[in-house]
Amino acid sequence: MQTTSRTERFNELFYQLEHCDEDEQRKKIGEINEIFDGMEEEEFESFFTKEMFNRIDEMIEENKLTIENAILLLKCIGHCNSLKKECNLNFEESLLSERFEKMTFEEDYKNEKEKNENLLVGLCECLILLVKGFISEDLIATCVPHLLKVPLKKEESEETRKEVEMAFLALSCIDKFTDVEQELYLNEIKEIIEYHQEHHNLSRLAYQCAWEFLIFRLWVDYNLSGNAANELHLVREARRELDELTRNVDWRRKGDEMSRGEKKRAKIIIRWIQTLDSNFYLCSLLNEEYVGLFSSIVQVFRAAKENFREICCKSIDALRKAARNRTVKVEGLLKGGVIDIVLDEIYKQTMDDETAYNCLIFFMEVSLKLKIKTDDEMKEVKRKATKRKVFEKLEEEGYEDTITTFHKIFDYLYRKYYRETSLNISDYLVYV
């Protein structure tokens, strides 16, 4: 379907919403959702102006669109938006956002007998999925407990799985710098993850989103959430999910040739890698178990490198963060195959600036770690042995000559990336 016909069809269906009954509205919203699925990020973003959201608000006010169907439409928008790149959809500046926020608090203040839980959950999902700026403490305190009630019901049906997936997708959209009080989520999220590990009741996307919500809490609740991540076996679970997802994609196909299910699985892989990216950056409890996780990311990289470059770039970015983590040993990066794939990447002639930066920082961190001597005799012997292995690998691949060719862009990368790169070539090299 061409962009013009997709735009025309969307406008046609949107206009028809206010001229049909409630059941017909739901059918048309389903058709609109199918249009969203086929859109590229830039095209998707162009549909949603402040004026469009204001028009939905008017339709609710004029009784031309039920509040339930308005929520259904916005959940479709939020779902597609979150699985793309979370574009700025102008929702938070609209009258509709004000209406939904007011309704959320009004509904939450009602007593338990009067409260419409389904309506409240839908309002919370829309607000968190579509608000990309600051979310107030009051809204977080209201929405998080109600969204976590959805998976805590533990009912097993396809409809319930979809409802749970939507609730977790919304929770995963809460920014990692947003403070969420631990009493609002910790016991519940642990119970949900543990139950899934035994009964496998969540969809793959819902399970990934549950972990993303928990890992993002590390940024402001480091010790408590970090311990919970280890208690719930993050490394084991992430590795299993990545391995199974990777096996269920035909990587010989390019993105457009993949089935809808394969595209969704590839997107979930990207989300897992981005979640692990945050964990690598913060976690201070890395151990030998992480070598297996590095191997799983390397496996994904090798599978995707021909036809799915976005996964490769995200993988290199995450592994660069792992290399910067003080508890990650170079030996672990070597065993996990990480150094091999970063070498493969740095030799590419068409590498973009961000990937070049990530590769250079990775080798700068490896070089730095190998230069740090220790007074422990056994550890020092091990360090020298690892240093020799890395040196021989880099020398065999002609790494030093390759790094020298980057010298002309060091200054550019130095200025573009917050002066984290070094202007000294020797900082990227390993000598024995």
Q: Is residue 293 part of a domain?
A: no
Distance CA 430, CA 432 (A): 7
Domain boundary residue among 105, 133, 161?
Answer: 133
Domain assignment present for residue 101? The answer is yes
* Residue whose entry in the numeric block shows the structure tokens 């740090």: 372
| Inside any domain, residue 285 | no
How far is 312 from 309, CA to CA, in rounded Å? 5
Q: Is 200 a member of any domain?
A: no
In a domain, 172, yes or no: no
Which domain does 22 fall in, by range?
A: 1-133
Give the residue from 243, 257, 258, 351 showing the smallest Cα distance to 300: 243
| DSSP 3-state of 374 | coil
Question: How far from 170 is each of 81, 129, 143, 369, CA to CA, in Å?
Answer: 11, 5, 10, 39
pLDDT of residue 1: 45
227, two tokens: 């311990």
Residues 275-290: tens digit of each pLDDT: 999 889 877 767 778 8
> How far is it, in rounded angstroms, from Cα 297 to Cα 242?
8
Give the pLDDT of residue 86.
65
Q: Nearest to residue 125, comparing CAs of 106, 109, 139?
A: 139
**Looking at 84, 114, 133, which one is the last position of a domain?**
133
pLDDT class for 298, splitting at 50, 70, 90? very high
Single residue among 104, 133, 162 that ends a domain in this structure: 133
Q: Angle formed by the axes of helices 338-346 and 377-396, to 10°?
A: 30
**What is the per-residue burial (b if ≥16 Cβ within 10 Å, else e) of 383-400?**
beebbebbbeebeebebe
Other C-beta atoms lying within 10 Å of the C-beta of residue 103: 17
Residue 61 lies in a domain: yes
**429, 367 contact by CB (below 8 A):** yes
Separation of alpha carbons 93 and 97, rounded Å: 7
Confidence grade of residue 348 (pLDDT, cut at 50, 70, 90): confident
The answer to whether residue 43 sits within a structural domain is yes
Question: What's the pLDDT tens digit per position in 26-72?
Answer: 999 999 998 887 777 777 777 788 999 999 999 999 999 999 999 99
Residue 256 is assigned to a structural domain of this protein: no
Give me the pLDDT at residue 288, please.
Answer: 78
Give CA separation, 62 vs 7, 18, 71, 100, in Å: 25, 9, 16, 16
Contact 406, 360 (CB under 8 A): yes
E strand or H helix that includes residue 130: helix 117-130
Of 148, 161, 262, 176, the closest CA to residue 206 belongs to 161
State how far the Cα of 87 lies from the Cα of 157, in Å rounded to an integer: 31
The terminus-to-terminus CA distance of the chain in angstroms comes to: 59
Structure tokens at 368: 């730095």
The single-letter DSSP state of residue 103 is H
Give the residue among 45, 44, 62, 46 at the shortest CA–CA distance from 54. Answer: 62
Considering its fold, how many domains does the chain have in total? Answer: 2
Question: Could you tell me the pTM of the whole model?
Answer: 0.92
Give the pLDDT confidence of 209-257 residue by residue, as tens digits. Answer: 999 999 999 888 776 766 888 899 999 999 999 999 999 999 998 877 8
Residue with tokens 């959950």: 121
